[in-house]
Homo-oligomer: A and B are copies of this chain.
Amino acid sequence: MTGPCFISFFLLFNLLPFFQTLEASHCSIKGLPLVRNIADLPQDNYGRGGLSHITVAGSLLHGLKEVEVWLQTFAPGSRTPIHRHSCEEVFVVLKGSGTLYLASSSNKYPGKPEEHFIFSNSTFHIPVNDVHQVWNTNEHEDLQMLVIISRPPIKVYVIFLLSRFASTFSPLVDGCPFVFPLSS
């Protein structure tokens, strides 16, 4: 186990497809123009403060079956949950900078995840099922990224932290400990 103060588990986090289903109910593919102005597309934060999520091209909204494209903007200090998903994911950073935390599933005993600086006009990708988190650690600027995933609609496994007193936590991922910074 990871220690007495921490409890971790995975949850099949299906909120994103759920909300997309709601959007799709009043915005079918038949009624949408082929060329769409991204500035006119609906955005949501899915309950995460500091997040703006726009589905640029999606499965439920636009009928795609193999890829999905999002535009995500994170206000300073905001971040994704620590999570993994059974699909490929590519990021293109359009504005701002931040930090990627990545715990590769290919390491048997990964310990602390790798920490990578991400910046405007950079790109990176997350291998299938690798646990990761993207954090806008720039205090002065939004972090805006195009995010591309395969196998839509996405199912995200979020790793929850139950202790509010921890500065780090160590979820077990397939039997191996990962130490991430504190995150809700």
Q: Which residues does A use to contact B, with CB under 8 Å? A: 34-39, 56-57, 62, 64-67, 69, 87-88, 90, 92, 100, 102, 114, 116-119, 121-125, 146, 148-151
Least Cβ–Cβ distance between A155 and chain B, in angstroms: 15
Contact B34 A102 (CB under 8 A): yes
Q: List 16 A-B contacts (CB under 8 A).
A: A34-B100, A34-B114, A34-B124, A35-B100, A35-B116, A35-B117, A35-B118, A37-B121, A37-B122, A56-B92, A57-B90, A64-B90, A65-B88, A67-B148, A146-B146, A150-B150
Residues of B within 8 A of A125 (CB): 57, 62, 64
Asked if residues A66 and B92 are in contact (CB atoms below 8 Å), the reply is no
What residues of B have a CB within 8 angstroms of the CB of A114 in the complex? 34
Q: Is the CB of B38 within 8 A of A66?
A: no
Identify which of B35, B56, B88, B124 contacts A67 (C-beta below 8 A): B88
> Considering the chains assembled together, what is the distance between the CA atoms of A122 and B65 in angstroms?
21
Q: Is the Cβ of B56 less than 8 Å from the Cβ of A90?
A: yes
The list of the 3 closest CB pairs from A to B, nearest first, reads A66-B150, A57-B90, A35-B124
- For A88, give the chain B residue with the smallest CB separation: B66
Complex Cα distance, B102 from A39, in Å, reads 23
A87 to chain B, nearest CB (A): 7
Closest to A71 in B: B92
A39 to B121, CA, bound (A): 7
Residues B36 and A122 in contact, CB atoms below 8 Å apart:
yes
A34 touching B116, Cβ below 8 Å: yes
Given contacts A92-B146, A146-B92, contact A123 B38 (CB under 8 A): yes
Give 12 new A-B contacts, CB below 8 A, not counting A38-B92, A64-B90, A67-B148. Answer: A35-B119, A36-B123, A37-B119, A56-B90, A56-B123, A57-B123, A57-B125, A57-B148, A66-B66, A67-B67, A67-B149, A69-B148
